[in-house]
Structure formats: C-alpha cells, structure tokens
Amino acid sequence: MKEAKKMKRLVKSIWIFNWFNSCGFTEILPVIGSRWDMERFGIIPVASPRHADCLIIGGYQTEKSIKRAQRIYRQMPKPAIVIGLGSCSMSGGMYWDSYNTIKRLSDYIPVDLYIPGCPPRPEAIFRGIMKITEMVKK
C-alpha cells in the first residue's frame, strides 16, 4: 500500500505547449517521433496554453512574434515554466545580426532553462525536462 501511494506522488506528467518559429519545430521533431516518443516519458503536448505546465519556445523570435509569446505566457496558469530551446533563443543564433530578431529570450519572458544546440539533441531535451521535473518536485 505504501508503494502505491509513493508511485502516485512520483507519477506526474509535464504538459507542454510549444511555440516555434521558423526552423524551431525541427528541433523537437525527433523527440515527438516513434524512436524517442516523449509521451512515454510523461511529456504531454497540449493544444491550449491554459492547460500547460511548461512553455517551450524554439527558433528565433522577431519583434512581432515575441508579443504573441508573451501573451501565451500570460495565459498559462502559474507557476509557469519556460524552456528556451536552441541557440536562437539564447543569442539570436545565426540571425544574431538581424535588426528584427531578439537576441535573448529572457529579456522578454522569464526563462527557467535553456537547452543549447542547433538543433539540440533529443538527449539534451530529455535531460532538460528531467531537470524541470526535479524543480517541480521540490
């Protein structure tokens, strides 16, 4: 009986809402596919930010798109977790010298975790989400 109660506490799915621009979706595509299958690890994509625990932002963000990302963040229930996926969210990536690309995502939205890479490896994405689940448990 104790073990069943312990398992109930440990089993918690992270519901994520994805916000991707340009090539950002290709960064998480292998994680969604049949080889890695993120749902078996408890990572569930949802269609509405109002139901999400975590917001994953990938790809470069422009001045127009960051306003929509901020709106999505405001719609999420608190505490909302934000993951910046790829080098574009950290530094603008290969578009760092563009006049319309934001350089650092954390200047606009509070980011809890950055996952580096262009594109990040599926292992890195899973490692980052496991760190987020540890933060949630605490």
The number of distinct structural domains making up the chain is 1
Better-predicted residue by pLDDT, 136 or 133: 133
On whether residue 5 sits in a domain, the answer given is: no
Domain that holds residue 101: 14-137
On whether residue 4 sits in a domain, the answer given is: no
DSSP the chain: -HHHHHHHHH--PEEEEEEE-TTHHHHHHHHHSTTT-GGGGTEEE-S-GGG-SEEEEES--BHHHHHHHHHHHHHSPSSPEEEEESHHHHH-GGGTT-TTB-S-GGGTS--SEEE-SSSPPHHHHHHHHHHHHHHHH-
pLDDT reported for residue 9: 44
On whether residue 53 sits in a domain, the answer given is: yes
On whether residue 3 sits in a domain, the answer given is: no
On whether residue 26 sits in a domain, the answer given is: yes
Q: Give the model confidence (pLDDT) of 72-123 as tens digits.
A: 999 999 888 899 988 888 887 787 788 888 888 899 999 999 988 888 888 8
The CATH number linked to 33 is 3.40.50.12280
* pTM value surpassing 0.95: no
Residue 5 scores a pLDDT above 60: no
